Amino acid sequence: MAFAHEITSKSEIDEIMKEGGPAVMIDFWASWCGPCRMMAPHFEAVAEAMVDEPVQLLKLDTEKYAEIAQAFNVRSLPTILLIHDGKIQDVVIGAKDAHTLKKKAEWLLSKARGDGFFKRMFG
C-alpha cells in the first residue's frame, strides 16, 4: 500500500496553493532519475510514519506533469517543496534519507501548528 499520494491534476495543486491550504511535502520526481528512485522508499516510509499527522506527503511525476514542475521552477530532481497556507516554506534539493525527510515533515507540522521560531528549532 502506498502512503504517499500521487498528484494527478492541476486542481489538486490549486487546493494546496490556496490561502489556508494544508501542510504538504511534494516530491518532484521522474522514473529515469536514479536519486529519485533511491529516495522513493525513504519518502514512502516517512509518509507511512506520518499517516496520522496533519501533513500530506505527495509525489508529482515530472514526466506526466512537466507544466506543473515548470510553474514551481523545479530544475533538479528530486526536489521537495514544503508548503503550508498556500506558500512555499522550504525547498529541499537532492535525495535525502528517511531521518532527514522526517525532520523536515516535523518542522513543517510545527510551523503549521503556529509554533514559534525557537520551538521549531530547539523543541
Catalytic positions = 33, 36
> Prior bond to 78 cis, omega within 30?
yes
Cα 27 from Cα 19, distance rounded (Å): 21
As beta bridge partners, residue 26 has: 58, 81
CB of 17 within 8 A of CB of 86?
yes
Q: Give the span between the Cα atoms of 106 and 112, in whole angstroms.
A: 10
